[in-house]
Amino acid sequence: MKKIAITLSFAVCIAIICFGYFFGKRGAILKDGAALSEMPVMKGGRLMPLSSASADILRFIYGKSSVKIGDKWASPTEWLVYINARKLEASEQKFFSTDNRELQNLLGIKGRYYSYQDFEKKFEEAFNAANSQDNSPFTKACRLAIEKIAAYEAASNALSFCLEGATPRETFEMWKAMTKRAAAEIESAKAQNRKPDSAILADVYQYLQAFQEIKSRHDELKNSNILVVSMSGGWQTPLDALLDTAPSENKIETFSRYGDIVECVSKNKPEEADIHIKELKSLLNPPFKIRFENFANRLDIFYRGAILYAVAAVILLAGTILKRCANIAFASGAVFISCAFLTHAFGMLARMYIQMRPPVTNLYSSVIFTGLVAVGICIFLMLKKGKKIYAMIAAPAGFLSLLIALNLPYSGDTMGKMVAVLNSNFWLTAHIVPMMLGYCGVFLAGFAASFKLLFNAAKLGKVSEESNFETAKTVYAIMCFSMVFSFAGTMLGGVWANMSWGRFWGWDPKENGALMVVLWSAFAIHLYAFKYANARAFLALACIGNIVAAWAWFGVNMLGIGLHSYGFMSDGWLYLALFVLAQFLISLLAFVKCQAAPNTNHEKYLSQTDF
């Protein structure tokens, strides 16, 4: 029976992992948009596939990387094609989000989503609010909404640009003919020593002025939001290519192919669009790294990993409740955890390969890396000690890390260019990685302690102090591991700060947070080592350590002050407060008395101080 469960679990894991690749959200606009998703583009200074760039824009304005068009789910690439091809129809769709109630009331919407047209009707009021001197949440929401609208406008012209009543290819040919005619008139006027015919030049000047105004608006967002499409011989938007005085034939063909795809979608001819996509792919020939990143996007690897961790947690919980099938549930859960861990690790390695950077470069990757290490340690302890509790810790730890990472507030491309002070692979490895290992140790120790205290409470204290001692011994070892890496990372961070900012320590909130983790770890370790806290008290201290680490990791970022400006975010106070409250309440479970272990030296397991 166990072999059948293991085999079935492997099959389900493979199905969950591969589902995103073969049955992902696509098909609303194009029959097969996978080839178009591979097209190389430049956004925010990083070379990436079209799927990554469009998903980044969609996350910024909508808050998610998938969206419904009509009654069908669309991939980010299909969404981008849609807003380029059917501008009027797209402007009625609710592709924007806001959590600010005042802005929702201003726009007259129910819920958090609104359309381009909803905002356009109230643009003047929102613009005035955005330019006011106060810094209220409503003002900030209006400023952000205007940035989203500007990003959307740039994205809606990212794949093609056309004049009203003309296709993108016709626009290019029309503009080329107009400029040639104007140039010929100027040359003729010079040769005949006369003034150029103003009627011939008027249309060109009028269009050129309009194009320049549009270009200047888009250029303001070029580094962060505008999508820059790959053209043979350089990186340009379709509007840039249109204004190019001497475009190459390859550039003209590339621009025209993108335009043809958009035109076919606007006329609801997906079969013809697919033909143009294939020709465009052969023309641009995406490099391997771009195709690999698109492959990872289609797998949606971290989302699949989160599902596997969640299934593992449910199976293990069911095995704990239904003791008859405990062994089968543990074997099946172990398979899901192993597959989730390998999936998690593949995603981390894929990011490192795409970026050519160490594993931790920003807040997003720090959460992913820390969760991966925590699960790896749990698997090691599970194999070494043969105890199911480590599997029970691994599944929720991995799930929570990926859940938090996937729901972090938007802060730009998660694999984007590094800020200048972070642009050092050596220091990212020497400082950031040890710090993350330290945080990982604190959280892992805290979660292990939490599970043990909850287990004691569920058993109404009818467990032995010996079991508390055994858990405390493991938690103690993990916290020692954590303190060593936290201290090393903090000291190396000071050296890096001295090299970058000219001072070793400046009481920056981030620095204070790192110091808090070191001091709390040392405090808890010494209390237990010198027997000023018994096993249950030490487990409670480990739970409080989670609060300290959460503040050092996330809380200081929410303050929005200090030289460590990378990773700042304004949202998340509620979730942080709930986590703090939960850990505090769990720590109080240490007051639940446990039974003395029979036939053992009770003094061996109790320290000098008891509750």
pLDDT recorded at residue 601: 47
- Please state the domain extents for the chain: 1-24+300-413, 28-267, 418-611
What residues contact residue 468 under an 8 Å CB cut-off, 6+ apart?
452, 456, 535, 536, 539, 594, 605
pLDDT recorded at residue 133: 83
**E strand spans, 70-180:** 72-74, 96-97, 113-114
pLDDT recorded at residue 44: 82
Distance from C-alpha of 599 to C-alpha of 106, rounded to nearest angstrom: 72
pLDDT recorded at residue 600: 45
Give the 3-state secondary structure of residue 47: strand
Token pair belonging to 84: 């380029």
In terms of DSSP H, where are the helices of 415-534? 425-427, 433-458, 465-501, 509-529
DSSP label at residue 93? S
501-514 b/e with 16+ CB inside 10 Å = b? Answer: eeeeeeebbbbebb
pLDDT recorded at residue 106: 94
Query: Does the CA dihedral 239-242-245-246 come out positive or negative?
Result: positive
CB-count burial class (<10 Å; 0-12, 13-18, 19+) for 70: exposed
H/E stretch holding 67: strand 67-69
pLDDT recorded at residue 602: 41
Q: Extract the residue ranges of the chain whose pLDDT is less than 50.
A: 599-603, 605-611
CB-count burial class (<10 Å; 0-12, 13-18, 19+) for 177: exposed
pLDDT recorded at residue 566: 65
pLDDT recorded at residue 216: 76
Using alpha carbons, list the distances in angstroms from residue 605 to 80, 454, 522, 586. Answer: 63, 20, 21, 22
pLDDT recorded at residue 609: 41
Cβ contact 472:605 at 8 Å: no
pLDDT recorded at residue 519: 94
Using alpha carbons, list the distances in angstroms from residue 114 to 62, 99, 147, 301. Answer: 9, 11, 15, 30
Q: Would residue 234 be called left, alpha or beta, if left means φ above 0 and alpha means ψ between -120 and 50 degrees?
A: left
Token pair belonging to 344: 């998690």
How big, in percent rounded to 5, are the helix, strand and coil portions of the chain?
70, 5, 25
552-570 b/e with 16+ CB inside 10 Å = b? Answer: bbbbbbbeeebebeebbee
Token pair belonging to 248: 């190459």
DSSP label at residue 422? G
Cβ contact 25:75 at 8 Å: yes
What percent of the chain has pLDDT above 70? Answer: 92
